[in-house]
A and B are shown apart, each in its own frame.
Chain A
Amino acid sequence: MTTSTRPWLRAGVLAAVLCALVALATLLGTLGGPRLDRATGIALIMLIVVVGLKIFVGDSGIFSFGHVAFMGVGAYTTAIVMMAPAQRAFQLPELPGFLADLELSAFEAALLSGVVAAVFALLVSLPLMRLSGLTASLATVALLITCHSVLQNADRFTRGSGGLILIVEPPALLTLLVCACVTIVAALAFRQSRIGLRLAASREDEVAARAIGVRVWWERGIAFVVSAFVLGVAGSLFVRYVGSINPDSFFLSLTFTAIAMLVVGGLTSVSGAVIGTIVVSVALEVLRVIESGVTIGGLEIPSRSGLASVGLALVLLGVLLLRPAGITGGRELSELVPRRSRRAEQRPAEPDARTGPPPVPVGAVEE
């Protein structure tokens, strides 16, 4: 097997393992009744959001607080184009004529949502991708706030802060699972691609990356657009699943949750995004149960509003204190499992007191 095919094989195996993990978590999620079914569906959509976010944040090293805006763009696009004409005439009476008569299928709407979000990201990326580090991150905050304001005030298209209601068949859990798995495969393929490699290089060392021909703004721009597409599709699934949206659905709370999931799992790996989403989703669900008041072993915990948010913050703090790089340390599962045995093989043996140091191979001299 050649040196160039092996990384793709490893990525394929990793994709299979991660998809199996998500399928198992989904299966467990379906064993607890309708309430847990719904939480599982939301968790699968969040998985798409977090893996999509990882495509840009994890590989570019630029923290984006604005990606949820692309999810909002996707959700509103789907709500507008899938709504029954009668509903549309009632909710959005001032919609331009060419939109008033549309009634797309779920697949067409998801695709259109992704494309609209990607085109929007392309326009935003032209100035944004010239920025680096904290400046770029702050610019994404501005993007989030601007989009929120636009969604609140573009009454003609969004019905303002009242939001939109979409009454359609929600996507089945299996559909969401397939979409999540496709996103995982796409994110791993992106990371293995030339663009993904070059982007990761720019994250590690921008000076060195430029010195070997990486057009940093270009690679970042492509990742930004690709991840916006994924979030647009996630937005489309989200609005179909929950049935109603408003500008606050795509603002600080969702941004914080998505970032918490990515940070908890490990920013720079798809495995981290998947594990972080599962861990935080389970923690949130447990906290929500406790928040609504429970009795554990005779101990009554009264209902406390806001407990879930505080609990999530504590989970985040705990992980950051114990594992600052996240549960996976930002590495893929495939790197974590065989690492020890490989290092033992590769690194020269420690000097032995009886036999002295091992012979030093040419070119492998330690300083």
Chain B
Amino acid sequence: MLRVEGLDVQYGRIRAVRDVSLEVSQGEIVGLLGPNGAGKTSTLGAVSGRLPVAGGRVLLEGEQLDGRPAEEIVRRGVSLVPEGRHVFATLTVAENLAIGATVRKDRAQVAEDIERQLERFSVLRRYYRSNAGKLSGGEQQQLVIARALLSRPRLLLLDEPSLGLSPLLVDLVFETIEQLRAEGLTILLVEQNASRTVEVADRCYVLRGGELVAHAPRGDLSPEELGDIYLGAGER
């Protein structure tokens, strides 16, 4: 579904991502792991159109995404849940959800889909008319995932969805990711929580210093090997 070929991302003269190639197939969960500054978020930024592609190509089912603005990429079926939650704080939960669906043309289905997300994330129903800024961190994370899902993406990009959450809420986030896979959604997951990611992902790519240093299917990466990769001791 998604093919990234020889991706380069630059911030001025600093190259944050070098020659990264990866693939995500239909219905897969693919993890993108690596320590801080590895280039994970920059890779997602380039795929989602938030950052310009300095080199290489990004293709979604053969269609070129690089060079297109972020909003058009969303319309083509790629939704990003950015790191740090980013709810629209002074708008209500209801408005946050409604905005997520405004890119869609099938408006008749929106109310039904909002209802489905409220069933999935029951806490959002309770605070439906409250301002999103009043929700706790975990509730906000559920809201931004629900909001992204309301655009009916073909590919969901999740950037550090468990960052800063308590262990109980991390469980909830990963349960949700499993549930979305069961529904057939394709997910590219950027995480620092490597042990949880290798459990849930079909395949994982590991980045370090902006370069791809490992690629392995589920079960091929042990926690020890991951530790080595993070620390720079081993490469595959």
Selecting from A206-214, A220-228, A286-294, the interface stretch reads A206-214
Q: Chain A contacts of B115 at CB under 8 A?
A: 3
| A:332-366 near B, CB below 8 Å | 342-343, 346, 361-366
Q: Chain A contacts of B95 at CB under 8 A?
A: 7, 197, 200
Interface residues on A, range: 20 to 34
Closest CB in chain A relative to B103 CB, distance in Å:
4
Closest CB in chain B relative to A54 CB, distance in Å:
15
Contact at A208–B87, with CB atoms within 8 Å?
A: yes
Contact at A365–B168, with CB atoms within 8 Å?
A: yes
Contact at B137–A212, with CB atoms within 8 Å?
A: no
Q: Is A300 an interface residue (CB 8 A)?
A: no
A200 vs B128: C-alpha distance when bound (angstroms): 18
Q: Is B74 an interface residue (CB 8 A)?
A: yes
Contact at A208–B86, with CB atoms within 8 Å?
A: yes
A364 vs B128: C-alpha distance when bound (angstroms): 13
Contact at B86–A205, with CB atoms within 8 Å?
A: yes
Q: Chain B contacts of A330 at CB under 8 A?
A: 90
Q: Is A367 an interface residue (CB 8 A)?
A: yes
Q: Chain B contacts of A205 at CB under 8 A?
A: 86-89
Closest CB in chain A relative to B202 CB, distance in Å:
24
Contact at A342–B71, with CB atoms within 8 Å?
A: no
Q: Chain A contacts of B137 at CB under 8 A?
A: 367
Q: Chain A contacts of B136 at CB under 8 A?
A: 365-367
In the complex, what residue of chain A is closest to B74 when comparing beta carbons? A213
Closest CB in chain B relative to A157 CB, distance in Å:
39
A208 vs B100: C-alpha distance when bound (angstroms): 10
Contact at B122–A361, with CB atoms within 8 Å?
A: yes
Interface centre among B89, B95, B102, B123 (most CB of A within 10 A): B102
Total chain B interface residues with beta-carbon distance under 8 A? 52
A194 vs B107: C-alpha distance when bound (angstroms): 11
Q: Chain A contacts of B127 at CB under 8 A?
A: 346
Q: Is B52 an interface residue (CB 8 A)?
A: no
Contact at A212–B79, with CB atoms within 8 Å?
A: yes
Write out, one digit per residue, whether chain B residues 12-34 have a CB within 8 A of any chain A CB (1) or not (0).
Answer: 00000000000000000000000
A282 vs B217: C-alpha distance when bound (angstroms): 72
Contact at B74–A211, with CB atoms within 8 Å?
A: yes
Q: Is B130 an interface residue (CB 8 A)?
A: yes
Closest CB in chain A relative to B65 CB, distance in Å:
14
Q: Chain B contacts of A363 at CB under 8 A?
A: 121-123, 139, 142, 172
Q: Is A201 an interface residue (CB 8 A)?
A: yes
Q: Is B110 an interface residue (CB 8 A)?
A: yes
Write out, one digit per residue, whether chain B residues 56-67 have a CB within 8 A of any chain A CB (1) or not (0).
Answer: 000000000000
Q: Is B197 an interface residue (CB 8 A)?
A: no
A362 vs B124: C-alpha distance when bound (angstroms): 11
**Given known contacts A346-B127, A363-B121, is B90 in contact with A213 (CB within 8 Å)?**
no
Q: Is B82 an interface residue (CB 8 A)?
A: yes
Q: Chain B contacts of A214 at CB under 8 A?
A: 71, 99, 102
Q: Is B200 an interface residue (CB 8 A)?
A: no
Interface centre among B80, B95, B99, B126 (most CB of A within 10 A): B99
Q: Is B50 an interface residue (CB 8 A)?
A: yes
Closest CB in chain B relative to A84 CB, distance in Å:
49
Contact at B88–A367, with CB atoms within 8 Å?
A: no
| A:170-221 near B, CB below 8 Å | 194, 197-198, 200-201, 204-205, 207-215
| B residues apposed to A, CB below 8 Å | 48, 50, 69-71, 74-75, 79-82, 86-91, 94-96, 98-100, 102-103, 110-111, 114-115, 121-123, 126-130, 136-139, 142, 144, 147-148, 151, 164-166, 168-169, 172
A-B pairs with beta carbons under 8 Å apart, 24 shown = A3-B94, A3-B111, A3-B115, A4-B111, A7-B94, A198-B99, A198-B102, A204-B88, A204-B91, A210-B71, A211-B50, A212-B102, A213-B70, A213-B75, A213-B151, A214-B71, A214-B99, A215-B69, A268-B90, A364-B123, A364-B126, A365-B166, A365-B168, A366-B136
